[in-house]
Amino acid sequence: MGTIIFSNIALPGTYLNGKDISYASKKEALESAPDDFSLIINGRSDKSLKINPSDIDYNAEVPSDAKIDQNPFTWPSALFGNKKENFDFDYKVFYDKDKLDKLIDNSSLMSNVTEPKNAKIAMKNGEFYIEDEVPGNKVDKEKLKKAVIDNINTKSNELDLDDNYYVNPEVTSKSKQIKDALLDAQKLKDMSIKFNFNGFDLKLEGDSLLDLFDMNDVGPELNYDKVYEYAKYLASETDTYGKNRKFNATGIGEIVVGPGVYGFKLDVEGMVDKIYEQVNSRKSGVIEPVYSNIAYVRTDDGGDIGDTYVEVDISRQHLWFYKDGNLIVESDLVSGRPVDGWASNVGVGQIVNKVANTKLRGLNFDGKTSYETPVSYWMPIGWDGEGFHDAPWRSAFGGNIYLTKGSHGCYNLPPSVAGALFKNVDYVTPVVVYESSTNNSPGMAY
């Protein structure tokens, strides 16, 4: 009788994929899906998710060719021998993927997420330090889904999410990258950058240097806009181009002269490049200024008119040329006729060029006809077309000649004076033009 019964019934101690099916119908045991499966997922921040079979329409089947092959004649030993016999088959698992996705998306694992943050260099009270990373609790959903599916397929009941299941900081406080960045940042504290402007004590160091930086994901990084503004500040402090100047006029004393084409003008973008180059070297040093317009000299007080210059007083119709403090040339002259826009301009120009044996061309006073005049010496002083040249056609200079018989704007000189000036004056020598007692002349273009 027992042999007949256990031909269709599982022997005592029989297990199917870990489940006790003793005395159960073999056929029904193979056909029945396991109903005791559930999965508990444990994550960071005390977050968890429990997945029940009904949540995802879970179903599992053993292979169609699976058999519980037992010898029914061994039922007495199975009954009294307390022996276990295991039959393990790979289940074919079915579940609703959309429901699984939604279940994961709506779980606490995916809510109130704290994003991971890399360790970074921070600064407090002028000191750099490493700010620790933030691990966060952002789950890598694709890795989690794969692990859940693997656990469903293997009927594992618990999944503990370790670091591999999370989006973790790429840079930690122990990373060589951040430690190197700290050492690099600390070099900034000891840097001192000087600028070679005679007459100015300008340094980029300490807070003024650190203020040019932003703190990025790794460490301090120069902010271009801040560096540009600093270069503009240097220009505002040191530029002489386009500014009025105090000048010690011969026989008069201190006067104020307007601007012209002469003066120092800093190349702001060029200075930005220089600052970047020096700062990125992490070494102290001296930066040589980069100019878009350069003057003859930078004096100890930061000015640009030293003891070498050409001086012209239109009111006195007179010229002086000083070189290294010595009067080299002095002469009366004839300037532009101060009517109908022919007056010579005032301001601070410079010897732009020196040309021998050339021809000067322009319009006559009628504004219609033109002239062409050969000269032996031509020294333009700006962009207005004005300059010094010899005027051999004149027999007299100085006085009030210019009021009625003045030039077209240039400074007419006796040939010997023009020759002496041409021989001794250097390019870029400042030319200071003013009116001491009249007010007929416009300012120079610049």
Query: Cβ atoms within 10 A of the Cβ of 416, count?
Result: 11
318 in active site: no
**Catalytic choice (26, 337, 389, 408):** 389
Q: Which two tokens stand for residue 437?
A: 């007692």
Write the DSSP assignment of 270-293 as a string of letters: HHHHHHHHHHHTT--EEEPP-EEE
To the nearest 10 degrees (0 to 180), the angle between helices 97-105 and 141-154 is 130
**How buried is 9 (Cβ within 10 angstroms: 0-12 exposed, 13-18 middle, 19+ buried)?**
buried
**Catalytic choice (62, 100, 104, 410):** 410
- What contacts 314, CB < 8 A, 6 or more positions away? 335, 343, 344, 346, 402, 433, 434, 435, 438, 440, 441
* Residue among 352, 351, 353, 348 at smallest CA distance from 329: 351
Write the DSSP assignment of 160-207 as a string of letters: E--GGGB---SS-TT-HHHHHHHHHHHHHHT-EEEE--TT---EEEHH
What is the C-alpha to C-alpha distance for residues 107 and 92, in angstroms, rounded to an integer? 26
Q: Are 351 and 431 in contact (CB under 8 A)?
A: yes
Catalytic positions, please? 389, 410
